[in-house]
Amino acid sequence: MTLPLYLQITVGVIVGVGSYFIGNINTAVALSKLKGKDIRKCGSGNPGTMNMIRTFGKPFGALTLLLDVAKGVLPSLLGWLFMGNGEFLRLGADRLGLYVGGLCAEIGHIYPVAMKFKGGKGVATLLGVCLTCKPVIWVASMAVGIAFLFVAKIGSLTSFIMMCAPLAVEGVVMSTAPLGAWYSALIFSMFALTLFAHRKNLVKLFSGNERLVVLKKSKRLIVIVDRSILFDGTLIAE
């Protein structure tokens, strides 16, 4: 049974607003407070997975990643469930709700009203949307991204690898579907939004000043920061 037009629009608005507020839940901030700190005042100040790894270690980073991915999966599934019957606004767009829910959740994560519009960078939430769209491609891109992280130890570049592959595949596939332009616009918006949130990381990356992710701790540690070399916290070369 097809709902009246005004009810379909109401459902769409509810899905969008609900997804936005799901995105407002910042798991990194909540988990860091369990450790007696505020992740926004530690490291890079970004309330996301990479800063959690640098500050509290891999277990807390992994838990943050898992919960933030769930923030992308849940709104996408809710959007698909309530807007994905192929009759929404008589467009025949059976996956429209999936992208609407995912995009609104990502906006809520990056620009949460609950945190004065200063949130994370949206990669993990976007990965959750990708998981809902293309699970097999998502698993492959995660494996490649994690391997790259262990080799290069550059968190921001790893994030791009993990999210670019699923989005690229989904964008190409859906561009040939009915209303492909709408699908492509929503997918591109998700990608562009996350890319914009990483603009400072991109500047640091291309200037050679992006921070490394330390995956192993030792008694003596050499770290390269802003082209200077620190040995056990002592500056030994610039």
More confident residue, 25 or 94: 25
Q: Is this structure's pTM higher than 0.85?
A: no
Looking at residue 195, its pLDDT comes to 79
Q: Which of 16-25, 104-113, 158-167 has the lowest mean pLDDT?
A: 158-167
150: its two tokens? 């262990």
Residue (of 175, 172, 168, 186) closest to 80 by Cα position: 186
pLDDT tens-digit series, residues 116-127: 898 888 888 888
Domain count, the chain: 1
The whole-angstrom separation of Cα 27 and Cα 119 is: 11
Cβ atoms < 10 Å from Cβ of 197: 21
More confident residue, 174 or 227: 174
Is residue 135 situated within a structural domain?
yes
Is residue 142 situated within a structural domain?
yes
Is residue 99 situated within a structural domain?
yes
Is residue 223 situated within a structural domain?
no
Q: Which alpha helices (H) appear in 41-179, and where do they start and end? A: 49-56, 58-83, 96-110, 123-133, 135-152, 155-175
Is residue 107 situated within a structural domain?
yes
Is residue 199 situated within a structural domain?
yes
Is residue 230 situated within a structural domain?
no
pLDDT, the chain, mean: 76
Average pLDDT over residues 28-47: 90
Q: Binning pLDDT at 50, 70 and 90, where does residue 37 land?
A: very high
Domain containing residue 206? 5-211
